[in-house]
Structure 1
Amino acid sequence: MLNGVSGAGEKPRVLTGDRPTGRLHLGHLVGSLRARVALQESHEVFVLVADVQGLTDHFERPGVLRRHIPEVMLDYLSVGLDPAKVTFVQQSGVPELAELTMYLLNLVTVSKLRQNPTVKTEVAQKGFGAAVPAGFFIYPVAQAADITAFGAQVVPVGEDQLPMLELTREVARRFNLLYGGEVLRAPQALLSASPRLPGLDGNAKMGKSLGNAAYLSDTQAELRRKIMGMFTDPAHLRASDPGRVEGNPVFTYLDAFDPDVARVQALKEHYRAGGLGDVVVKKHLLDTLEAELGPIRERRVGYAQDPQAVMKLLRDGTARGREVAAGTLTRVRAALF
């Protein structure tokens, strides 16, 4: 194994993760969690519980992160991530990441960070303006440190995250060019094939802070209330009226969750022609979601019976993750000093 990453005959390493700023929702399931469950069969998967990154815009509310770390772990286990195949790592338990971030910051200019389209978009979304915290501003470099410290060869990303991964690749190549050898690996992107789910309210984004999400941990009653209250086509006032499918989140969700493509297409055609009420379509979506979320909910209840065992999985994984990161940092220091 070179640079702490897999060699011939070994599984390629993946790094992925989430900020524990809230419970995980259906958008996470479609956008990343399903892919992680599949990847654990063919790759060595590291999942980072990115609490340090979460502090970049929750520094005044660290209790939010502490409260949600166990919740996120339950979400991971309930969707089928297998602790025998996946290493769960708490970011704050790996101080080597902060040291590596400091070294990599020297390889990135302020103007490069300012021009990063992902940073620009998120700064605007969060309304920071000129008061953007420095920790938030440099978090793409911290992400580069996470990825290279764990020697990830593959990083699953959506298209909007490609500029972030390209920055990691540039930093890794520059470090190797300046200091010699193949100390840091430039990872490859694994693009998500799933489109981003809109919010239940029709907003283009489903978000923890927007109040428009259905969570993996929602009860059956909570899920029913949310789905039956979903935004549809505002011009579809009566079942007999022709309805609009495009931009209608109910059909976007059916595309993502109903495995019967022909059935969904028939529903779309019926809705467009008129004669199909929103309540009927929503009830079908609810049944479809329950088929997938029911087993997830059941597994969650089982894991929640022993919260200490769940957190031990995270502690054990963090210890392993720290060993890997420490190995990378040893090589980085040798190249620098």
Structure 2
Amino acid sequence: MSSVDSQQRVLSGMRPTGKLHLGHYHGVLKNWVKLQHEFECFFFIADWHALTTQYDDPSGIKDSVWDMVIDWLASGVNPGSSTMFIQSQVPEHAELHLLLSMITPLGWLERTPTYKDQQEKLREKDLATYGFLGYPLLMSSDILMYRAGRVPVGADQVSHVEITREIARRFNHVYGREPGFEEQSEAAIVKMGKKNAKLYRTLKKRYQEEGDMDALETARALLMEQQNISIGDRERLYGYIEGGGKIILPEPHPLLTPDSKMPGLDGHKMSKSYNNYIGLREEPDSVVQKIRTMQTDPQRIRRTDPGEPEKCPVWGLHQVYSDKETRDWVETGCRNAGIGCLECKKPLIDSVLEEQRPLRERAVEYENSPDLVYSILQEGRERARDAARDTLEEVRSAMGLNYR
């Protein structure tokens, strides 16, 4: 696999936290469903990551994995269009984590923003463990294992992709300088033919002397088109134009996802820890009860009191679920006391239930067919392991661990 191909590969995962809520659906899963038709996608259940903070009580992880996979499938993540697997069932992740730990400075892990944040938030837990310190490296191994060029993340997770880029860069610098690298690269240029060789050299000069990023992108496209060079030569030439060595582990790029606009029942971000969520496939009676009892504008005590939508958590949900006509009706009716709070909530309840209906129906099919879910994960595991073995073969060889 070439580093240019990696730009068409996406890797993303979730810790198993049990059944998901509508915040996950709007913030992550709808995006996954879209991406799986545009890229080669690997989606994994990060059960080893769950152990970094739940090592003292892993009893709920298994059921959480099952519930979460069913939610993925119910949301439209398609095993025919993407690869779904459980992290711990691809042991190659652990080996790459170990090998990368040999070259990763401790300071890089300690400065990861979420390292200290999580320690502060979870002060009741003993997180002075190697596993917790090393989880950013395990995350990097997950990405680099599949040579994924794109990683969908929110703005608060970009730092994890950045450390992955640094690790890939360090690995390529240390191990990509194979004996005779420049000679082999020059020989590979000749194989491209006179016209393409001249163009490559021109683009290389423009990038190295002027920092022209367009020249780098054009060179990538040029290399992708070449039929006369091997994948190994392509990797050498990709590294050669950047002034480094052979690209063994391509550097990933964050694929920024829009912040989820799905507020919780109290107006804050929807979260299980805040207990302000609506389950992705929650029972209709429960959904109706939760929305009907939502807090509204505290200044609107009586039915005849005018209200202010901006001060009401219900208005946040209307922003997600209601069309402009309904929102205009809510704004006018609230401000002039023309509608009551229960009237305001009625179209919202209808819209949420309508969105959930097909999700619940699809989930029932998978809940009643555990063997089908198991087979989907098994097939995903095999596809993931095939890709993982290819990467590890190159990594071991680069590190001098290939004994055949």
Match of 1:66 among 62, 65, 89: 62
Matched, 1:268 2:359: no
Given the alignment of the two structures, is residue 56 of structure 1 paired with residue 55 of structure 2, yes or no? no
Structure 1 partner of 2:2:
2
Deviation of 1:146 after TM superposition, in Å, equals 0.2
Report the equivalent of 1:170: 166
Change in 2 beyond 3 A, CA 1:287/1:92: same
Per-residue CA distance 1:152-192 (angstroms, 9 max, x = gap): 11111111111111111111112112211211121121111
Is the contact between residue 70 and residue 311 of structure 1 (CA under 8 Å) also seen in structure 2?
no
Question: 2:272 is matched with which residue: 202, 208, 213?
Answer: 208
Q: Distance in 2 between matches of 1:255 and 1:216?
A: 18
CA separation of 1:305/1:115 partners in 2, compared to 1, >3 Å: closer, same or farther?
Answer: same
Tell me if 1:186 matches 2:185.
no
Amino acid at match of 1:316: E
Q: Which letter maps to 2:269?
A: K
Q: Give the letter aligned to residue 6 of structure 1.
A: D
Q: How many residues align?
A: 331
Is the Cα–Cα contact under 8 Å of residues 199 and 205 in structure 1 kept in the other structure?
yes
The letter for the 2-side match of 1:301 is: V
Deviations along 1:177-231, one digit per CA (max 9) or x if unpaired, are 22112111211211112435333234x3332344322111211112112222323
Q: TM-score, normalised by structure 1?
A: 0.90
Cα distance in structure 2, aligned partners of 1:80 and 1:270 = 37
Write the distance in 2 (CA, Å) between the matches of 1:229 and 1:140. Answer: 41
Which AA in structure 1 matches 2:295? Answer: F
Q: Which residue of 1 aligns with 2:239?
A: none
2-structure distance, mates of 1:189, 1:19: 19
Cα distance, 1:173–1:209 mapped onto 2, change above 3 Å: same
Counterpart check, 1:295 vs 2:362? no
Counterparts of residues 1-337 of structure 1 (less than 5 Å): 1-2=1-2, 6=5, 12-127=8-123, 131-180=127-176, 181-202=246-267, 204-246=268-310, 248-258=312-322, 260-337=323-400
Residue pair 1:30, 1:194 contacting (<8 A) in 2 also: no
SS at match of 2:250: coil
Q: Counterparts of 2:157 and 2:80 in 1: how far apart (Å)? A: 29
Which amino acid is the alignment partner of residue 324 of structure 1? A
Determine the C-alpha separation between the residues in 1 that align with 2:130 and 2:335.
Answer: 50
Query: Could you tell me how far apart the structure 1 residues matched to 2:327 and 2:101 are?
Result: 49
TM-score (normalised: structure 2): 0.76
Paired residues of 2:266 and 2:294 also in contact (CA < 8 A): yes
Residues in 1 aligned to 2:104 and 2:327: alpha-carbon distance in whole angstroms: 48
CA distance in 1, matches of 2:129, 2:306: 49
Structure 1 residues 194 and 270: alpha-carbon distance in aligned structure 2, compared to 1, 3 A threshold: farther
How big is each residue's C-alpha offset from its partner over 1:239-280, in whole Å with a ceiling of 9 and x where there is no partner? 43343433643222222233x234324423543454443222
Q: Give the Å deviation of 1:94.
A: 0.9
| Larger Cα-atom Rg | 2
Judged with a 3 Å threshold, the aligned counterparts in structure 2 of structure 1 residues 295 and 130 are, in CA distance, closer, same or farther, namely closer
Unaligned runs of 5+ in 1: none
CA contact (8 A) 2:23 2:260 kept: no
Query: How far apart in 1 are the matches of 2:83 and 2:139?
Result: 18
Are residues 136 and 262 of structure 1, via their aligned partners in 2, closer, same or farther at CA, if it must alter by over 3 Å?
farther
The change in CA–CA distance for 1:173 and 1:227 in structure 2 (over 3 A counts) is same
Mapped contact 1:96–1:325 kept (Cα < 8 A):
yes
Q: Which amino acid aligns with 2:76?
A: G
Percent pairwise identity: 37
Q: Give ranges in structure 2 of 5+ residues lacking alignment.
A: 177-245
Q: What do you get for the CA RMSD once the two structures are aligned?
A: 2.2
Is the Cα–Cα contact under 8 Å of residues 241 and 275 in structure 1 kept in the other structure?
no
1:247, 1:148 → 2: CA distance? 45
1:283 Cα deviation from its structure 2 partner: 2.0
Q: SS of the counterpart of 2:366? A: helix
Task: Indicate how the Cα distance of structure 1 residues 150 and 128 shifts in structure 2: closer, same or farther if over 3 A, else same.
Answer: farther
Aligned amino acid, residue 217 of structure 1:
R
